[in-house]
Structure 1
Amino acid sequence: MLLAIFSECYRILCAILSPCQQFAMILTIVFFLVVLSCTVFFRQSLRKQTRYPLPPGPKKLPIVGNLFNMPRSGVAWLEYAALSRQYKSDIIHLSVLGNSIVVVNSAKIASDLLDKRSLIYSSRRSTIMLGKLVGWETVLPFRSNDSSWKQQRKIMSQAFPTDSTRFYSMLMRATRSLLKALPCTDDIFDPLHVWAAVTIMDVTYGINAEEAKAHLPIAEGAIEAIIVAGIPGAFFVDQIPILRYIPEWFPGAGFKTKAKIWAELRERMTNLPFGLTKERVAMGLAKPSLTSVALEQIDDQQDVGEQEALIKTAAVAAYAGGSDTTVTALHSFIWAMLQYPEVQIQAHHELDRVVGPGNLPSFAHKASLPYIAAIVQETMRYYPVAPVVPHRLIVDDIYNGYLLPRGSAIVSNIGSMLYNEEVYPQPNIFNPARFLNNNGNLNPNVKDPADYAFGFGRRICPGKSFASASLWLAIASILSCYSIEPELDEHGEPIKPQLQERTQSGLTLLNKIPPFKCRFVPRSGDLPRMLDSNGED
């Protein structure tokens, strides 16, 4: 409340004094320092009233707290894991400009808090950059647990049931198109993005493959905002909300220009495919999809505009959630195959034995392909797609004698959990066999990475079953058709793939592997026949 009053006063003063830029700049600096000091002092005073200590963590400096301890390398989960080892605790505490951050590095603590106490740990922290300036705050993954969040989740749960069998034919068609495109490009991201767009837009909007391709550039730009701005601490305006009111000409206000561009892309991503499906529903031409089914179920006795807005936000949540995560996972799988060719060889043997050379796998083969299932699990574990996921605590809580303050960002370090050596020995090695027992079947005693990778508690991904099915079919099909080989140099010799460091140019929500090149060498002379076949599961 205090910060809101200060912010409103500052906004009015800036509007009055904006013609005098130099004076407004001085006012901004002074006002910022006063408000920041008052806010930090107020929050620290409240926390001193409890007899419980905060979890271990780096020493906090006056006012700025742990600002200089926050991850900056682009791989936040590794830096959080290092802090966990340094302070010998699976739960650590950071404070940035008075904002509390609790990082959870173990699956047990994540389950204790996010699953067993989900009622108070399932909210989302309000963000200025991604939420208010770019406009994602009303959409399911970023919205607090209010009635709209529950209604959006209900719509998505109906569209993505636990049983994904009704999507199998569509996934088979889209995967055949992917298999045809992979050997024909120097940039494997392109066909992967098309494959993901085709599948998710079919389910979400009933839009066909060619139409889906036209929406790709808009979606890629809009999702960049989520990937970059979704990490706590990526933009100072999230720690210092008053910065949202500084003029665009002010030094360091480049985030406002970026937010404008991202907001426009988000609006187009939200409105264009929804409008197309709405028109087709009105004409009776719409294919069954999340959007068309929900529109047909609108209650005319209630506020139609409000219901449409709810459907629109649920649809774009599904669209955004499925369009980049599966691409990242499949890209990391292809990279792993270059690094571990022995895994490919074993997978080829299993596919030839079960499916037969010259044939494509279908979901009917899934139960008989445990090594392929293990590769899927190891792909999710080895290069976790979203390794750092924040929740928000809505009340003060005590855990293992530590105070977890109300309003804290509870960051589940999924990457650290998937690299726990006690659960996954030698985690830096891509080894699908870790998920198999002595008989070559999946070992139920080894934790499935999907139990972590898709989130915890009430925030678990509603499209988990669909995403898992998509990834399994793509991996099984690529390995059936191709041997993934290194690029050749000018002399025709293979370029030995180099292990790349887990570093990125900046903090991002998704854990992306840098671009690389490879060759998809057909394993059968019958490949054209296989890919032109209309046979489906």
Structure 2
Amino acid sequence: MMAMEQLFHAVPVHCLQHGCSKFGAANVALAILVTAALGILADYIWMLYLRSKMPPGPFPYPIIGNTFQLPNNKPWVYFEELSRKYNTPLITYWIGRNPTVWINDAWTASELLDKRAGIYCSRPRMLVFAELGSGQNNLVNMYTTTKAQRERFRIQRKLMHQGVGIQQVKKYRHFQNDESKVVAYHLLTKPENYVAHFERYATSVVSIIGFGRRVGNPKDPIITEVIAVMHRAADLNVPGKTFPMLMETFPALARVPTEYAPWKHGLGSKRKSHRGHDFFYSLAHEANEKPEHEDCYAKVLFKEQKKYDLGNKEISALAGNLFGAGSDTSSSTLITAVLAMRAFPETLIPAWKELDRVVGSDRSPSFDDDANLPYVHAFVKEVFRWRSVAIIGGQPHAPTQDDYYNGYLIPKSTWVQGNVWAIHHNEREFPEPDRFNPNRFLKDHPDARPFPGERGYMTFGWGRRVCSGQALAEQGTWLMIARLLWGFKFGPALDEQGKPKPVDIFDYTNGLNMRPQTFEVSIEPRSERVRQAIIREGEQALTDLAPYEGETKYRMSTFYTK
């Protein structure tokens, strides 16, 4: 015993203390690791429990789910393949710890998102697009889980309908028609710039609606800058395994200040987001101060500001949503239409015959001709179906309560996404889906198949979250395509050896609002009489549009760089 005491006292006290501290630190570290492991295990057990009740899908891993199984491009095609693999219209795919239910069938989409619209009217938590992006003041992103949220959503939707509702857009037909005539006029001299002509047309229409000012120059910053931002946002928000969308899997990374987090791609910067809102607010405020064009949408918003207690950010979001609802998407649809005309020339012949019979060569089609042009109407519908711009139906829906479909659980607040690509490429409704075939939409034609809803396509979404600009887009797209079909021949561009340059009908961008990659096409007037009519109408249209000429002192780039 004495020897042991001597040995004990022979050891320096600081060594004992150091050993104890090492032992204590090791215990703490071990406790933390064990606690974290148990937490991950418990969370994973909960994931697997939910998985057993939800629609089938790939087996998820702890924490990361199925995120790193996503393809690099066009995930909507991958989800279509999974739906076939599991032989079910619904699949569950885990982005990190959060399940997403993908709807790959028209009838299921109609049942859930249209017939149960009251349940599927909300949005899930969207870290990248909403919280770090356009914000919760935006109608597109709003939750509707509480009474107060539903009331605010109802107010904004009502105000949006005052701008682009079904009845309201009929008032815009005169300048929409004139801007369409200007496109045909410009195609006579610069057909190779057809993309720029379409972007100018679509942006000018919504600019007149929103701010009482037309856009006459294809290089106007309100086109180049705003559409560039829209393309960037669409590219960044594709479900994927790269940043910034990877923050949906690892949300803690979003807490790092933006200036120190290159993976956030500038999202979440209070300065940038604030100034981004200020840009559209400034455009609206500028338009409101001008005495002319009393019926422009900006004046409506300021008139209703006090009644509905609209904040500046809400005015900005409502004004900005006009561009999202009618500029980039509409121009992309028109580019797709030209691709279809170039790749499937046989579909033009019935259109030409119908237009020659109903319209003739001395004037272009008008809205009054719609009822007498069933094939042209079917042609436009096939454009919407063949390569839909909003390829996954816009932003995800979320049920406000737990729901069940065919025995499968869809938990409250789950991401529910309609896969428009899969819906519009289902062989059951659309045999040979990649073949452009307007006959699918002709009544009593053998190529027609049953489809839920009267339109025959689901391009604009569903239920209470359907695209606000649907009526405007359908109205303008019909008129523009009818005028293109009436006025022009679309053939192959020729290379230096005089050989036709091929086009690829699958070569599309990877963004949520997809459009064809650049392709060349020959665009020529169908006859001399048609060319003279285009010139006459184009010159008159520019005269009629003169009252809308004007400039704005604001540039989006200056708001983002100050």
Q: Give per-residue Cα distances to partners, 1:381-428, cap 9 Å, x unaligned.
A: 111111213212333222211121232110111111111211112212
Displacement after TM superposition at 1:515 (Å): 0.7
Residue 63 (structure 2) aligns with: 63
Displacement after TM superposition at 1:186 (Å): 3.1
Q: Which amino acid aligns with 1:410?
A: V
Displacement after TM superposition at 1:38 (Å): 7.9
Moved more, 162-171 or 380-389: 162-171
Q: Which amino acid aligns with 1:180?
A: Y
1:93–1:138 distance in 2 versus 1, CA, 3 Å: same
Displacement after TM superposition at 1:241 (Å): 1.6
Displacement after TM superposition at 1:332 (Å): 0.4
| 1:25-36 to 2 correspondences below 5 Å | none
1:453–1:35 distance in 2 versus 1, CA, 3 Å: farther
Displacement after TM superposition at 1:71 (Å): 3.8
Displacement after TM superposition at 1:293 (Å): 2.1
The question of whether the paired residues in 1 share the 8 Å contact of 2:200 and 2:217 is answered with no
1:497–1:38 distance in 2 versus 1, CA, 3 Å: farther
Q: Give per-residue Cα distances to partners, 1:148-207, cap 9 Å, x unaligned.
A: 322111001122232332111011111011112234153422111101100111112222
The question of whether the paired residues in 1 share the 8 Å contact of 2:334 and 2:477 is answered with yes
The 1-side partners of 2:38 and 2:362 are apart by 70
Q: Which amino acid aligns with 1:223?
A: M
1:495–1:364 distance in 2 versus 1, CA, 3 Å: same
Which of the residues 532, 536, 539 maps onto 1:532?
Answer: 539
Give the SS at the match of 1:332: helix
Residue 253 (structure 1) aligns with: 262
Q: Which amino acid aligns with 1:314?
A: L
Give the SS at the match of 1:453: coil
Moved more, 271-280 or 103-112: 271-280
The percentage of counterpart residues that share the same residue type is 27
The 2-side partners of 1:35 and 1:72 are apart by 35
Return the index of the structure with the highest Cα Rg: 2
Q: Which amino acid aligns with 1:292?
A: K
The 2-side partners of 1:40 and 1:148 are apart by 38
Displacement after TM superposition at 1:380 (Å): 0.6
Give the SS at the match of 1:186: helix
Residue 296 (structure 1) aligns with: 303
Residue 337 (structure 1) aligns with: 341
Structure 2 unaligned residues grouped into runs of 5+:
1-32, 545-562
Displacement after TM superposition at 1:313 (Å): 1.9
Residue 125 (structure 1) aligns with: 124
Moved more, 34-43 or 319-328: 34-43
1:396–1:37 distance in 2 versus 1, CA, 3 Å: farther
Q: Which amino acid aligns with 1:138?
A: N
| 1:206-245 to 2 correspondences below 5 Å | 206-210=212-216, 213-233=220-240, 235-245=245-255
1:239–1:101 distance in 2 versus 1, CA, 3 Å: same
1:68–1:227 distance in 2 versus 1, CA, 3 Å: same
The question of whether the paired residues in 2 share the 8 Å contact of 1:358 and 1:524 is answered with no
Residue 273 (structure 1) aligns with: 283
The 2-side partners of 1:533 and 1:467 are apart by 24
The 2-side partners of 1:40 and 1:180 are apart by 64
The 1-side partners of 2:192 and 2:373 are apart by 30
Q: Which amino acid aligns with 1:518?
A: V
Residue 316 (structure 1) aligns with: 320
Is 1:95 matched with 2:72? no
Which of the residues 157, 161, 166 maps onto 1:157?
Answer: 161
Residue 438 (structure 2) aligns with: 432
Displacement after TM superposition at 1:494 (Å): 4.7
Give the SS at the match of 1:333: helix
Q: Which amino acid aligns with 1:516?
A: F
Give the SS at the match of 1:140: coil
Is 1:509 matched with 2:518? no
The 2-side partners of 1:430 and 1:51 are apart by 39
| 1:69-218 to 2 correspondences below 5 Å | 69-73=69-73, 75-145=74-144, 146=149, 147-163=151-167, 164-183=169-188, 184=190, 186-210=192-216, 213-218=220-225
Structure 1 unaligned residues grouped into runs of 5+:
1-32
**TM value normalised by structure 2:** 0.80
1:62–1:241 distance in 2 versus 1, CA, 3 Å: closer
Q: Give per-residue Cα distances to partners, 1:234-262, cap 9 Å, x unaligned.
A: 61112222101235686x73334366597
Residue 5 (structure 1) aligns with: none
Displacement after TM superposition at 1:315 (Å): 1.8
Is 1:362 matched with 2:370? no
Give the SS at the match of 2:458: helix
Displacement after TM superposition at 1:519 (Å): 2.1
The question of whether the paired residues in 2 share the 8 Å contact of 1:100 and 1:405 is answered with no
The 1-side partners of 2:40 and 2:292 are apart by 57
The 2-side partners of 1:180 and 1:262 are apart by 39
The 1-side partners of 2:500 and 2:311 are apart by 55
**TM value normalised by structure 1:** 0.83
The 2-side partners of 1:38 and 1:188 are apart by 60
The 2-side partners of 1:96 and 1:64 are apart by 7
Residue 371 (structure 1) aligns with: 375
Q: Which amino acid aligns with 2:358?
A: V
Give the SS at the match of 2:412: coil
Residue 349 (structure 1) aligns with: 353
1:48–1:484 distance in 2 versus 1, CA, 3 Å: closer
Q: Give per-residue Cα distances to partners, 1:240-296, cap 9 Å, x unaligned.
A: 22101235686x73334366597477335423321211222xxx3344122212322
The 1-side partners of 2:301 and 2:359 are apart by 39
Q: Which amino acid aligns with 2:82?
A: L
Residue 521 (structure 1) aligns with: 524
The question of whether the paired residues in 1 share the 8 Å contact of 2:254 and 2:264 is answered with no
Moved more, 157-166 or 419-428: 157-166
The 2-side partners of 1:473 and 1:482 are apart by 14
Which of the residues 480, 484, 502 maps onto 2:486?
Answer: 480
Give the SS at the match of 1:137: coil
Aligned-residue RMSD, C-alpha = 3.0
Q: Give per-residue Cα distances to partners, 1:198-237, cap 9 Å, x unaligned.
A: 0111112222234893411231233134312333446111
1:458–1:249 distance in 2 versus 1, CA, 3 Å: closer
